[in-house]
Structure 1
Amino acid sequence: MPILPRTLFWSVLIGWNTILWRCWFAWRVRKPQDWWQAAALGTIVLNLPIPAEVALLSRVMGGQIASTWPAIWLYAALISVALVPVIALALPAPPSEPYAFTKGVLWRAGARQASDVQAVVAEDHYCRIFLHGERSTLVHARFSDVVTELLNADGLVVRRGHWVAAGAVTSVARQNRKWVIEAAGQKLSVAASCVSQLRRSGWI
């Protein structure tokens, strides 16, 4: 194909599959742990119709793709495999070793390492610390100070006065026009200013 139809061909093909992948992840991923399973399954399900898409687009653009279906599936599989290390490098890595507390607000609340903390919710001049085993305790502290102690932990501020550990998240779902996180027995609507950070971290 000439350069302009060829450019349009690839733009439409890549754009269409980008939309499919976005919809696929929105449907399959409800918590951060779902991401890799959804990606592996999507590599099979979303790559299956690619030869038909290529054939249809090539006819629309006035060209003729000579490659057979098995060859196109092979190319799609190779591209998918090549993207895995790129995406893996882009995802935030967990701390190399657990961060232990030997003093501070969280230590007084009964947490000995970051993985003990499920969520933190500000309540006036206090913070409620949710720990493993469905335990919670109220401590006199500023929310910002507690979040600073959790700086190296795998978690995010999802709205003002609410911090949630990634391991505590049981679902992330779209409800009406808002994202809602279920964690530590609570349902929390995500602030609009925090959505982009959740996307970068793979929560959404």
Structure 2
Amino acid sequence: MQNAGDWTRRLREIGIYAVIGAFLTIISPYNGSGNLPLWGAYLYWTGLVLTGSLSAEATRTLMERTGRKFGVPVMLALMSVTSALAVTAMIILLEALTSGRSIPPGYLPRLFGLVWVIAAAVTAVGIMIERTVLAPVTEPVKGASPEETFLSRLPVKYRTAELYAVSAEDHYLRIHTSHGEELILMRLADAMRELAGADGLQVHRSWWVAKSAVRDTRKQGSKLSLVLPSGKEAPVSRTFQAEVKAAGLSA
């Protein structure tokens, strides 16, 4: 049974699809809806948005099942291409059903290119919205630790994981856990504010590490790093070396 949060998220998704469909109805890219009445054009574009979104979501699911970690640019490229393929196929089908005509083969590459531009934009907006508007709200849960509350913003499979570290990558954070890694759109300063009560510390301008996750230290000259259970190394800048030593994480 879906809880209130699931229903709220679903309603937000529907609202976002409706808005994108309305926007495309107004601008009517490549005159795709032809001479359809306004309501017909709206159904046409909203249907294509749903087709592309479902295709992109299926692609992301398959990528996640490979067990590999893909960066946002790679995710965007693969999801937008498969989305464009699905939408192009749907346009060909709709054209055949509504007018009885087939799209000339020579026009298909151009059609796919036009569709891909829109699919890439919609996919990028979708990823941004999912990591902000649709991101789980991390309200404190009675009896939950700061780490558990923080992890609640991640997909379900990470909710029971042990939090190792958080590292900044451009506008994103890479969350290192015992169940793998995940990227979220968030500032490191905001993450550390949420993790203020956790047993960890900032060790670099772009790294926060849980004390219990430090398995070893590695030093090369004046450079110090903390080794996580995953084998990843968190660099320790000179600014934070005294704090790391005081915490008993290095000699």
Task: Place the TM-score, normalised by the shorter chain, in its bin.
Answer: 0.3 to 0.5
With a CA cutoff of 8 Å and minimum separation of 6, indicate the structure with the bigger relative contact order: 1
TM-score, with length taken from structure 1? 0.46
Higher helix share: 2
TM-score, with length taken from structure 2? 0.38
